[in-house]
Structure 1
Amino acid sequence: MNKVYLFDYGGTLDSCATHWFYVIAESWNRRFKNSLGHDLSDEKLREAYVFAERTLEREPLITPHDTFRDVLLKKLTLQADALEKSGEVHFHTPVSKKLTVEDMTEELDDMTRECVWLSGDAIGALKNRGHRLFLVSNFYGNLRTVICDYGIADLFDDVIESAVVGIRKPSPEIFTLGVKAAGVAPEDCVVVGDSIKNDILPGRAAGCHTVWYRGKQWDASVQPDASLADFVIPHLSRLASPDWEETLQKSIQERAQRNF
């Protein structure tokens, strides 16, 4: 029987399971390591990342028509402000600050587009085999615009987005909305995401099967319990394998027997 797949977006489809903190931190270090002689402070980078995310959640800076490039520009501008205020970086002029942020935006947008296309190829194989795909994601209210701009919107039957529905992960309710949108039973749905906390645990609580896309977490020193997921994949291309459905079903059955 064909399944309904409920995919996370951020961190899963757009950064190949590497937490966005590391993607952006590496970009900052590429620009300042040579002049400073060392990487920027991990603590200050994390503080800047959290400051930007909380500001974007709190203030209506992102519009429904913003592309991800627009999101990056606003996010990186906020991070630059925080890093400059903390004394971690110094921009010679407002123009140099603006040019640095724009250069990083272009670089990260290109990287994201490439990753999204690779993800689209992998999950497109599921759609070609008759499975239905949905997005269930914490995002800023512009996810439909983002996936249209990156050329993968046609893969998905619907988008369940936190800023639109008013429910955020890790609440299982947002996955229940995905199940309802698909019009099937929870046991016919498979949640795929990069976060045990935000995808796997609430997906299980909603009654769905789960696939953890293992990557680099916010706290890279802590390894989540992989046994919490029905299946673990190192890359989304695993979903395109000819034996994927059979392998997943076997894993689900074995898990059910262990828990009986």
Structure 2
Amino acid sequence: MNPGPYGVLFDIDDTLIDFSGAARNALLDVAAAFGSAPDVGERMLLSWAAVSDVQYERFLSGELTFDDMLVARMAAVIDEMDPAGTLELDAAPLEELRNTSIFTHYAQFDDVAAALERFRADGAAIAVLSNADGPYQRRKMAAAGLADFIDGAVFSGDLGVAKPDPGIFLAGAASLGLPPERVVYVGDRWATDAIGALRAGLAAVWLNRDGAGRPHGAQDAVASIPGASARLAEVTGLDVVDGALARELLTGQAASRML
């Protein structure tokens, strides 16, 4: 059964663009420029991992502007790695360096261009949907060579609502001129992306690049959404994501399998 016109919404960070790799390299650049201790780079990476999500949530919740969050996040990294202040690091210049550096490291994953081209050839409408600041993400996509592949974009910073709220997924479907049941969402986070999309009525592809097991309670989460198991696929790369898979998901024939 052909579901007719359909669309695909993609997450950006760690789905289309290797954000984690770029973030790591940018932090090492910062450490090389400002670090006075031999292990400052590794300490900075560990501190980033400890505080980054918490600080980013302050932006998503509206507590901080995006630019203020960037500096606050770096300040939290410094506090985590050097609570005594012995390195005498200043968050603002370090963040300026990190933010400049990271744009030299942004790159799309090797499997992205071919996947987007397959969907384009299949007639799918393609857009991105991201919990992020709109202008910043557009710069990032341009830096990674993605701008020409995308028909539209929905960002939480523009909309005022973030994943996993159904509203942002519905806005993404609307941006493609399609009802949610004709749209597949592809993202790397289980709860935020896959379950969030399913609860909003979209089909979902969980991009599990490192092959980690599903989180505790994952099966219960899927079972709580009527029909979700047949509209969900788990993949370890975008090389198996194409129009055929999208049609299986949109017609409820995917059987929640891993590819």
Given candidates 50, 64, 67, the residue that maps to 1:59 is 64
Structure-2 change in CA distance of 1:46 and 1:213 (3 Å)? same
Moved over 6 A (4+): none
Instruction: Give how far 1:213 is off.
Output: 0.5
Question: Aligned partners of 1:177 and 1:56: how far apart in 2?
Answer: 20
Assess if the C-alpha contact under 8 Å between 1:167 and 1:173 holds in 2.
yes
Query: Which segments of 5 or more consecutive residues in structure 1 lack a partner in the other structure?
Result: 63-70
The equivalent residue for 1:67 is none
Equivalent residue letter for 1:246: A
Structure-2 change in CA distance of 1:158 and 1:109 (3 Å)? same
Question: Aligned partners of 2:203 and 2:253: how far apart in 1?
Answer: 11
Instruction: Give how far 1:60 is off.
Output: 3.1
The share of aligned pairs that are identical, in percent, is 17
- 1:80-105 superposed Cα distances (whole Å, 9 cap, x missing partner): 4333334257536769x94x656644
Structure-2 change in CA distance of 1:128 and 1:47 (3 Å)? same
Q: How does 1:143-182 map to 2 (within 5 A)?
A: 143-182=137-176
Question: Aligned partners of 2:123 and 2:89: how far apart in 1?
Answer: 55
Q: Secondary structure at the match of 1:255?
A: coil
The equivalent residue for 1:198 is 192
Assess if the C-alpha contact under 8 Å between 1:9 and 1:137 holds in 2.
yes
Question: Aligned partners of 2:214 and 2:235: how far apart in 1?
Answer: 18
Assess if the C-alpha contact under 8 Å between 1:137 and 1:160 holds in 2.
yes
- 1:53-99 superposed Cα distances (whole Å, 9 cap, x missing partner): 2554533354xxxxxxxx9xx83x5444333334257536769x94x
Query: Which segments of 5 or more consecutive residues in structure 2 lack a partner in the other structure?
Result: 223-228
Q: Given the alignment of the two structures, is residue 91 of structure 1 paired with residue 94 of structure 2, yes or no?
A: no
Question: Aligned partners of 2:36 and 2:115: how far apart in 1?
Answer: 35
Q: How does 1:78-227 map to 2 (within 5 A)?
A: 78-86=72-80, 87-88=82-83, 90-91=86-87, 98=93, 104-105=98-99, 107-112=101-106, 114-115=107-108, 119-142=112-135, 143-215=137-209, 223=215, 225=218
Equivalent residue letter for 2:75: D
Question: Aligned partners of 1:90 and 1:13: how far apart in 2?
Answer: 39
Q: Given the alignment of the two structures, is residue 49 of structure 1 paired with residue 52 of structure 2, yes or no?
A: yes
Instruction: Give how far 1:2 is off.
Output: 4.7
- 1:212-255 superposed Cα distances (whole Å, 9 cap, x missing partner): 101469xx89736387661111112333xxxx433454464153
The equivalent residue for 1:245 is 243
Cα RMSD after superposing both structures: 4.0
The equivalent residue for 2:233 is 231
Instruction: Give how far 1:190 is off.
Output: 0.6
Q: With CA pairs under 8 Å and 6+ residues apart, which has the higher RCO, 1 or 2?
A: 1
Assess if the C-alpha contact under 8 Å between 2:233 and 2:254 holds in 1.
no
